[in-house]
Structure 1
Amino acid sequence: MKFKHIKTKLVLVLFSGMFLASCTDVLDEKPRSIYTPEYFKTEKGVYGGLTSMYAHLRYIYGNGYYYNMCMTGTDEVTYGASGDGNFKDMDLSGVGQLTGATSRSDVLWYAAFPNINTASGIIENATTVGISESLISEARFFRAFDYFMLVQTFGGVPLDLGAGELNFNTSATRVSVRNTVPEVYTKAIFPDLQIAVANLPDAGRVTGGVTKTVAKLYLAKAYLTYAWWLQNPGNIPTYPETSRTDPDGHDASWYFQQAYNVATEAIDNPGSFGLQPTFYDVSLAQNDRNNEILLYADHTQSSEFYNGGSLTYGTGASPDNFASWMMTWNYTIIRSAADAGQTSLISSVQREAAQKYGRPWTCMAPTIGTITNTFADKTNDSRYDGTFTTVFRANWPKGNLNYAFLYNANNEQVVPGDAVMTFLDEEPSESIDYSNSTYKSNVGAGVIAGRADYVRSPTAVSRISFPSIWKQGPYRTDNGTGLGQPNAGSTRPFNIAKFSEFYLIAAEAAVKGAATSSGKTAYDLVNVLRARAGKWRWDNNDNIAKSEDHSAQMIAATPAVIDINYILAERSREYFGECYRWYDLVRTQKWAELASTYVICGPTFADHTPQTFQRDIQPYLYLRPIPQGQLDAMEMSDAEIDAYQNPGY
């Protein structure tokens, strides 16, 4: 496959309420200040629209506020010490209020609908201008993708954007009617994905292009999600109100079976896709765009134009990839001393454009339960080590500081590359002295006799000091011998869909009653990923090669009977920090059960005492509110606008 850069441009197409369509050009097409609907009916216009399908992903994935919406308020994540209302409102723990004006689900709403309209324009016009069905199916995939994300987030959403259901709209309209959940699935999502599976190529037409395999993943996932919706075990309300009846006459069991069938067929026929040999390799920056990744929002360090953002400074807005900033604590204020009296303090771990570090915003924090329960096994299971940065190492020479060594915990000397501060994997047998009466840590870390690094135990993880997300950390090849550009948005792709999810989709469907084939029970499927998680080739935080295989121990620890809670725990271990968790808990209706309480220490460095927090997760919260800006833009009666909003908001 050839790598082809994508460059974006605006298409001036108006439709439903605040929806504004954007479109892009492709390859060497010259920039235009205006794209009209007439131009969209040309071959170049269609190709430009196809390119925009990929570009619009940047406005969702990598956006730190959508990242927040997907995880804050779950069992995985709470707000960090620097989190403002964007984060506290999502936590549902009494420190904010989630409304149509405060929910950051608006990131998805405003990016998805323009793309849906562009996709409809491609589907309507492409045949006329001689575009093949395989290319049209790229648009079908993205229209289904966006509708699938929307219906999970908001419930039923409009299929008519002003020109009829699933029709391309070219004129502004400020009225809208929401379709029901079954209508969105059976009229839009399933038909588009089924056609895409039939017609997309096995290999993308460009690097990162959509394929038959990624369409299968989303078809299986849509079947699975809709099956849960039909079954509704927790009696969660839907909106617009409708019966839990499938227009095509199928029941939940039928859809669970379809999810299993599609997922296992993809596993048996992977094409060029598959699993990476170790979990570490999946997220390693030097291994980006590997064969496990089916879809990603791409970026590049080679050009600001093609990257879609500055290569030197990020503003915290799309299309930058700035998600990793949110769950990175401010390690840059760690101080070591130039003298044994610990009076001349030096920044020993400086802000660096490296995967373990990056720009710290401290807006989101992992809960203590994530560290101690979800990732309880840190000896056999490599996934904790391949998810978090827990050891912060001296890098002061990269900041042009000339010291052969510095004094750190216990007045021990550290040299560049040594651990300066460590979040311990387990509670130590030795006591940790957090008093800092002799060897002071300015970030509230403690000392253990004989260790040169300051330490913090798992139960001392706090809103201000916590293991940082490693998976999405930045990576540049142009740092030279310095710190590089850590304030820029990440130039790495943001991974959206992975081949590994086929195993967990099929396993979940099997738990829900799907008939299984030989060798592919829920137990078998889960153990494929657990066995892989037991294989180490590198200890990320100890920064040393580690050729060990604990697959047997991982399989031995798998319960004989797999239930939904175990599937969810495995999904958390595989996909922590990747925008899955809220959707997983909402799909399975386990959100209130698993996330109504969480434990974390307080917002200052001196806080080492775990506190339990309560969340009030009411059934109506299983749908996010329609953005207030959308409601304000519509010219309908007050009663119609009120009825457009999801109940409870």
Structure 2
Amino acid sequence: MRNTHIKAVVGAALLTFFSSGCKDILDEQPRSIYEPSYFATAKGVNGGLTSMYAHLRYIYGQAYYYNTTLTGTDEVTYGKDADQNFKDMDLSGVGQITSESSRSDAIWAPTFYNINTASGIIENATAVGISDALIAEARFFRAFDYFLLVQTFGGVPLDLGAGELKFNISPSRYSVRNTVPEVYTKAIFPDLLKAINDLPQVGRVTGGATKNVARLYLAKAYLTYGWWLENPNNIPTYPETPRTDPDGHNAQWYYQQAYDVAVAGIDNPGPFGLQPTYYDVNLAQNDRNKEIMLYADHTENSEFYNAGSLTYGSGGAPDNFASWMMTWNYTDIRSATTANWGTVVSSVQREAAQALGRPWTRMSPTIGAITNTFSEKAVDSRYDGTFTTVYRGNWPKGGAKETVLYNANGLPVAPGDAILTFLNEEPATAIDYSNTVYKSNVGAGVLPGRADFVISPRGISRVVYPGLWKLGPYRTDNAGGLGQPNAASTRPFNIAKFSEFYFIAAEAAVKGANAQAGKSARDLINVIRARAGRWRWDNNGNKARVEDNSAALTAATPATITINYILAERSREYFGEGYRWYDLVRTQKWNELASSYQICGPNKGDHTPITVQRTIEPRHYLRPIPIAQLNAMKMPEAEKKAYQNPGYN
């Protein structure tokens, strides 16, 4: 990715689009740049509105930004093939976060381009006859971007060169950062309140901004700001400012607002709602379902509308290539053509299928995520609906002629059979990892009577681990073959889910908000847990499983809900989706929950867990301002130094 700085041009980074009115989908046409005069027309305003959605592709699905949201948390560490981008984020002694290495540039440039575009729409739309509902879409996205920025960097500039929240049309290479309270109270809250008032219940386009999407972000912003005001662990802010609210409210007031707005979202769902099972939320064939409120969209039907190749992934935005990062190189798996383990062939081929995809091995789940976070695997469907734990034979799709291969214990396997399984629990019988007879070239072991090689939960390593099924690719144009596994995913990258209303309200209730009858923190969490207990399909077993464990799961919910319990539930629900760093930073639990982790080593056959320590300092709760931004500004060096977050100069 190239680094860019705030410019006084209008448009989305690298590529912008315009639409011709309200349709079921966005009619995108590329423009290289928007001139200021373009917003003096209805066509120009509509074009700017469509670019609001297009800019999401430059952030969500961009794997290096994705890395910054997960690596270094209790969910994820770096994988065997990680470059320094990933090692730096781990804070475990193999690198350090700097303004050069942090991939915070992946949000800095696209958001500020989009913020200025939004301001251009807001200032010009009324004069050219654009409705309040359309203007509200721009307000939503301006608030959305500022909320992302303030969570990541602390205070950021509201003035891009023409005044606070003004459309800037003149080149400016000078910048002053506003404080965190100013960003929330001048930009985020007013824009979202206006958006809720003016947006429709049902979006004008599929996946478009709606009243409830704005409610979700207002509730989350209130919650996040409440934590910021309370500051329970004395984490520093920047620019330095007292932890007081300009409007005179305290943290408790904001927790109550977060609860009330989130409950209003639950009670007034509009076209949104929970899916009946967790499996249905992330099943590729069910993409764009009613639980998904906002996403960065892609398509397999057109490279033009996909904004990326359909045959080969570039490894850069706007491709959706995040799913590659936590995909290990399962294509190394070999099975034999004869029972005495003679000639070996690749039994699991690289395929554009949700359980497989393109391997990069840049990130891996921690052992604790597998064993502790997902400790209720037998009844809670979320582990099965998150990971690929069974790798099945697909060798005929790659051209191999054998109808049968031989695998663990010299037993035969057919296409579709399990070749390698990551076990849900530690087995009663010790796994034989010696590979003296039936040689697993990926270091997996054998259990008596099983034809599949196996690895236990405490045996996962930086090189071999369960894949992230929920983000895996899906194509309908594979024609029975392997398809285009080297292309980026053509699935949408999900950004906001209806389920988060329940978590936000529950967290606010734990922080002291007065809860409504039937909507206590435990009640709200149990709605999510009840759904997690309902199965219709065993994903890794590849068979129907109609089973309801909701009573068992809700009964097991603690009588008193704590923040740590909510964070554990959030990890079960949203593992690997890019929420975790923000959750741990908001609640100031990062060091408590992620200061150490366990993982086995970087070699195939490593199955001895190693405890790794992290050094998470208070300064790390903010990311550094990208070096390209600082280099591009024409300011005295002392001012540039003061512009950077402390500890990153």
User: Aligning the two structures, in what range does the TM-score lie when normalised by the shorter sequence?
Assistant: over 0.9
| SS of match in other structure, 1:173 | coil
Q: Which residue of 2 aligns with 1:290?
A: 289
- Report the Cα distance in structure 1 between the residues aligned to 2:58 and 2:322, rounded to whole angstroms: 11
Deviations 1:28-55 (CA, angstroms, capped at 9, x unpaired) = 6865555321122111110100000000
- Report the Cα distance in structure 2 between the residues aligned to 1:290 and 1:82, rounded to whole angstroms: 34
- Report the Cα distance in structure 1 between the residues aligned to 2:449 and 2:309, rounded to whole angstroms: 45
1:23 Cα deviation from its structure 2 partner: 3.7
Aligned to 1:26, which of 19, 23, 35?
A: 19
Q: Which residue of 1 aligns with 2:405?
A: 406
Superposed counterparts of 1:515-534, under 5 Å: 515-534=514-533
- Report the Cα distance in structure 2 between the residues aligned to 1:426 and 1:489, rounded to whole angstroms: 33
Letter in 2 for 1:589: Q
Q: Which residue of 2 aligns with 1:95?
A: 94
Specify every segment of 5 or more residues in structure 2 that has no aligned partner in the other structure, as ranges. Answer: 21-26
Q: Which residue of 2 aligns with 1:542?
A: 541
Deviations 1:270-299 (CA, angstroms, capped at 9, x unpaired) = 111100000000000000000000000000
- Report the Cα distance in structure 2 between the residues aligned to 1:570 and 1:228, rounded to whole angstroms: 19
- Report the Cα distance in structure 2 between the residues aligned to 1:592 and 1:471, rounded to whole angstroms: 27
Whether 1:374 and 2:373 are equivalent positions in the alignment is yes
Q: Which residue of 1 aligns with 2:255?
A: 256
- Report the Cα distance in structure 2 between the residues aligned to 1:23 and 1:601, rounded to whole angstroms: 44
- Report the Cα distance in structure 2 between the residues aligned to 1:440 and 1:20, rounded to whole angstroms: 50
CA contact 1:224–1:256 (8 Å) conserved in 2: yes
Letter in 1 for 2:305: Y
Q: Which residue of 2 aligns with 1:15?
A: 8
- Report the Cα distance in structure 2 between the residues aligned to 1:378 and 1:33, rounded to whole angstroms: 49
- Report the Cα distance in structure 2 between the residues aligned to 1:197 and 1:30, rounded to whole angstroms: 29
Whether 1:568 and 2:567 are equivalent positions in the alignment is yes
| SS of match in other structure, 2:167 | coil
Q: Does 344-353 or 14-23 show the bigger shift?
A: 14-23
Q: Which residue of 2 aligns with 1:490?
A: 489
Q: Which residue of 1 aligns with 2:558?
A: 559
Deviations 1:571-593 (CA, angstroms, capped at 9, x unpaired) = 00000011100000000000000
Deviations 1:468-491 (CA, angstroms, capped at 9, x unpaired) = 001110000000110000100100
- Report the Cα distance in structure 2 between the residues aligned to 1:266 and 1:110, rounded to whole angstroms: 31
Q: Aligned-residue CA RMSD in angstroms? A: 1.5
Superposed counterparts of 1:471-482, under 5 Å: 471-482=470-481
CA contact 2:10–2:36 (8 Å) conserved in 1: no
Letter in 2 for 1:432: I
With over 3 angstroms needed to count, the CA separation of the structure-2 counterparts of 1:34 and 1:233, relative to structure 1, is closer
With over 3 angstroms needed to count, the CA separation of the structure-2 counterparts of 1:174 and 1:338, relative to structure 1, is same
Specify every segment of 5 or more residues in structure 1 that has no aligned partner in the other structure, as ranges. Answer: 1-11
Q: Which residue of 1 aligns with 2:448?
A: 449
With over 3 angstroms needed to count, the CA separation of the structure-2 counterparts of 1:118 and 1:583, relative to structure 1, is same
User: What is the number of residues matched between the two proteins?
Assistant: 638
- Report the Cα distance in structure 2 between the residues aligned to 1:30 and 1:109, rounded to whole angstroms: 24
Q: Does 515-524 or 334-343 show the bigger shift?
A: 334-343
With over 3 angstroms needed to count, the CA separation of the structure-2 counterparts of 1:305 and 1:456, relative to structure 1, is same
Q: Which residue of 1 aligns with 2:142?
A: 143
Deviations 1:360-387 (CA, angstroms, capped at 9, x unpaired) = 0000000000000000010110000000
Deviations 1:131-151 (CA, angstroms, capped at 9, x unpaired) = 001000000000000000000
1:70 Cα deviation from its structure 2 partner: 0.2
- Report the Cα distance in structure 2 between the residues aligned to 1:595 and 1:17, rounded to whole angstroms: 40
Superposed counterparts of 1:1-150, under 5 Å: 14-15=7-8, 23-27=16-20, 34-150=33-149
With over 3 angstroms needed to count, the CA separation of the structure-2 counterparts of 1:179 and 1:232, relative to structure 1, is same
| SS of match in other structure, 1:490 | coil
| SS of match in other structure, 1:589 | coil
Whether 1:208 and 2:188 are equivalent positions in the alignment is no
1:641 Cα deviation from its structure 2 partner: 0.4
| SS of match in other structure, 1:598 | strand
Deviations 1:150-194 (CA, angstroms, capped at 9, x unpaired) = 000000000000110000111111110000000000000000000
1:341 Cα deviation from its structure 2 partner: 2.5
- Report the Cα distance in structure 2 between the residues aligned to 1:17 and 1:82, rounded to whole angstroms: 38
Q: Which residue of 2 aligns with 1:7?
A: none
Q: Which residue of 1 aligns with 2:166?
A: 167
With over 3 angstroms needed to count, the CA separation of the structure-2 counterparts of 1:31 and 1:87, relative to structure 1, is closer
CA contact 1:175–1:636 (8 Å) conserved in 2: yes
With over 3 angstroms needed to count, the CA separation of the structure-2 counterparts of 1:524 and 1:238, relative to structure 1, is same
CA contact 1:16–1:161 (8 Å) conserved in 2: no
| SS of match in other structure, 1:471 | helix
- Report the Cα distance in structure 1 between the residues aligned to 2:33 and 2:565, rounded to whole angstroms: 52
| SS of match in other structure, 1:531 | helix
Q: Does 221-230 or 96-105 show the bigger shift?
A: 96-105
Letter in 1 for 2:464: S
- Report the Cα distance in structure 1 between the residues aligned to 2:38 and 2:132, rounded to whole angstroms: 20
Deviations 1:88-115 (CA, angstroms, capped at 9, x unpaired) = 0000000001100000111011111100
- Report the Cα distance in structure 2 between the residues aligned to 1:171 and 1:191, rounded to whole angstroms: 26
| SS of match in other structure, 2:127 | coil
1:13 Cα deviation from its structure 2 partner: 10
Whether 1:642 and 2:631 are equivalent positions in the alignment is no
Q: Which residue of 2 aligns with 1:242?
A: 241
Q: Which residue of 1 aligns with 2:279?
A: 280
| SS of match in other structure, 2:470 | coil
CA contact 2:60–2:493 (8 Å) conserved in 1: yes
Q: Which residue of 1 aligns with 2:361?
A: 362
CA contact 2:17–2:28 (8 Å) conserved in 1: no
- Report the Cα distance in structure 1 between the residues aligned to 2:363 and 2:29, rounded to whole angstroms: 41
- Report the Cα distance in structure 2 between the residues aligned to 1:637 and 1:272, rounded to whole angstroms: 52
Q: Which residue of 1 aligns with 2:502?
A: 503
- Report the Cα distance in structure 2 between the residues aligned to 1:236 and 1:30, rounded to whole angstroms: 45
CA contact 1:16–1:175 (8 Å) conserved in 2: no
| SS of match in other structure, 1:613 | strand
Superposed counterparts of 1:214-229, under 5 Å: 214-229=213-228
Letter in 1 for 2:577: E
Letter in 2 for 1:528: V
Letter in 2 for 1:15: A
Deviations 1:19-78 (CA, angstroms, capped at 9, x unpaired) = 968642115686555532112211111010000000000000001111100000000000
- Report the Cα distance in structure 1 between the residues aligned to 2:128 and 2:12, rounded to whole angstroms: 26
Letter in 1 for 2:221: A
With over 3 angstroms needed to count, the CA separation of the structure-2 counterparts of 1:462 and 1:20, relative to structure 1, is closer
1:16 Cα deviation from its structure 2 partner: 9.0
Whether 1:598 and 2:613 are equivalent positions in the alignment is no
1:343 Cα deviation from its structure 2 partner: 2.4
Deviations 1:312-351 (CA, angstroms, capped at 9, x unpaired) = 0001100000000000000011000112231211000000
- Report the Cα distance in structure 1 between the residues aligned to 2:193 and 2:203, rounded to whole angstroms: 17
Q: Which residue of 2 aligns with 1:3?
A: none
| SS of match in other structure, 1:560 | coil
Letter in 1 for 2:209: V
- Report the Cα distance in structure 2 between the residues aligned to 1:574 and 1:185, rounded to whole angstroms: 27
With over 3 angstroms needed to count, the CA separation of the structure-2 counterparts of 1:387 and 1:34, relative to structure 1, is closer
- Report the Cα distance in structure 1 between the residues aligned to 2:329 and 2:74, rounded to whole angstroms: 23
With over 3 angstroms needed to count, the CA separation of the structure-2 counterparts of 1:497 and 1:161, relative to structure 1, is same
Deviations 1:565-624 (CA, angstroms, capped at 9, x unpaired) = 000000000000111000000000000000000000011102110000000000010000
Letter in 1 for 2:380: D
Q: Which residue of 1 aligns with 2:606?
A: 607
| SS of match in other structure, 1:38 | helix
- Report the Cα distance in structure 1 between the residues aligned to 2:68 and 2:31, rounded to whole angstroms: 35
CA contact 1:394–1:418 (8 Å) conserved in 2: yes
With over 3 angstroms needed to count, the CA separation of the structure-2 counterparts of 1:20 and 1:305, relative to structure 1, is closer
1:639 Cα deviation from its structure 2 partner: 0.4
CA contact 1:21–1:113 (8 Å) conserved in 2: no
Q: Which residue of 2 aligns with 1:232?
A: 231
1:217 Cα deviation from its structure 2 partner: 0.1
CA contact 2:6–2:112 (8 Å) conserved in 1: no
| SS of match in other structure, 1:548 | strand
| SS of match in other structure, 2:585 | helix
CA contact 1:70–1:581 (8 Å) conserved in 2: yes
Superposed counterparts of 1:628-639, under 5 Å: 628-639=627-638
